[in-house]
Amino acid sequence: MSKVVLVDRDGVINHDKVDSVCSVADFQLIAGADKAIAQMCSLGFQVLVITNQACVGRGSTTMETIALIHHKMCAEIKKAGGEIADIFVCPHTPEDLCRCRKPLPGLIFQAHAKYHFVFAETWMVGDAARDIEAARNAGCRPARVLTGRGAGSNRKYENVPVFADLLAFSNFLTESNPISIRSGNYP
Segment (H or E) for 56: helix 54-57
- How many helices and strands (H and E) does the chain possess? 7, 6
Per-residue confidence (pLDDT) for residue 186, from 0 to 100: 42
Whether residue 16 lies in the annotated active site: no
Whether residue 8 lies in the annotated active site: yes
Sign of CA dihedral 39, 11, 105, 85: negative
Backbone phi, then psi, for 130, in 5-degree steps?
Answer: -65, -30
By C-alpha distance, which of 8, 35, 4 is closest to 126?
Answer: 8
CA distances for 71 relative to 49, 58, 83, 140, angstroms: 13, 22, 11, 27
Per-residue confidence (pLDDT) for residue 19, from 0 to 100: 84
Superfamily of domain 4-183: HAD superfamily/HAD-like (3.40.50.1000)
DSSP string, 133-147: HHHHHHT-EEEEESS
Per-residue pLDDT of the chain (187 residues), as tens digits, is 679 999 999 999 999 998 899 999 999 999 999 999 999 999 999 999 999 999 999 999 999 999 999 999 999 999 999 999 999 999 999 999 999 999 999 999 999 999 999 999 999 999 999 999 999 999 999 999 999 987 877 778 889 999 999 999 999 999 874 433 444 444 4
By C-alpha distance, which of 112, 108, 10 is closest to 54?
Answer: 10
Per-residue confidence (pLDDT) for residue 181, from 0 to 100: 42
Residue among 8, 16, 34, 131 flagged as catalytic: 8
